[in-house]
Structures are given as C-alpha cells and as structure tokens.
C-alpha cells in the first residue's frame, strides 16, 4: 500500500480531535501490520471505497479523499456486496450492528 495514505493526522486539527484521530491512526497501523504479518486475505465490499472517500473528504479535501479511497481499491480485494450479503445479513440479525457495519464485522 502507498504508505502516504497512512500519514498521521494533521497537527492543525483542534487538540481533542487531533488526539482522537492520532489514536485511531495508531490502531489502524497496528491492525494493518497484523493483517500483513499473518497473511490474512481481506475482502472489502465496494461500498467501503465510497465510505472511505466520503469520510476522507469530510476530514480533508477531495484530492486526499480520492487518493485514500483509490488506495483501498489498489491494495485490497474489492468485491461486490452480493458476495457478502448472506453473511452480512446474518451478522446484522445476530448483533444488531448497523447495516454498513455488518459488511465489515467479523
């Protein structure tokens, strides 16, 4: 993955938001490292590319949003939601998590 998309959050963010985002950043780096170390095969539903772009745009700008969501497309196996539908539906019914989260819950 283009490690540029894993840059730390901007220090220009307000203090509390910066600390929260930095904590999330650290967790994400650990998670990605463990996935890579264990050779875990990751499938990402297509909707995650859109969600990643939308969140990145709210936190930054269009160019960054495009870069980071394209990184998801380039680095992960992006699959149609239909492949994951039955599992996501079962997870939603069993846990009560949001519909979107049921696609990425494990």
Sequence ranges of the domains in the chain:
1-40, 41-106
Distance CA 20, CA 22 (A): 5
pTM of the model: 0.61
Query: Taking a C-beta distance cutoff of 8 angstroms, is the pair 8, 1 a contact?
Result: no
pLDDT digits (tens, 9 = 90+) for 27-80: 888 988 998 899 988 888 898 899 889 988 988 899 999 999 999 899 888 998
Distance CA 74, CA 58 (A): 22
How far does CA 8 lie from the centroid of its chain?
A: 15
Rama region for 80: left / alpha / beta (φ>0; ψ in -120 to 50; rest):
beta
């Amino acid at each position: 993955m283009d490690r540029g998309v894993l840059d730390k959050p901007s220090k220009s963010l307000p203090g509390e938001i910066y600390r929260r985002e930095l904590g999330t950043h650290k967790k994400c780096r650990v998670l990605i490292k463990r996935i890579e170390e264990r050779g875990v095969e990751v499938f990402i539903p297509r909707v995650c590319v859109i969600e990643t772009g939308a969140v990145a745009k709210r936190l930054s700008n269009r160019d960054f949003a495009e870069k980071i969501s394209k990184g998801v497309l380039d680095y992960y196996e992006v699959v149609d939601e239909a492949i994951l539908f039955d599992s996501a539906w079962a997870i939603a019914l069993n846990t009560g998590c949001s519909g979107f989260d049921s696609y990425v819950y494990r």
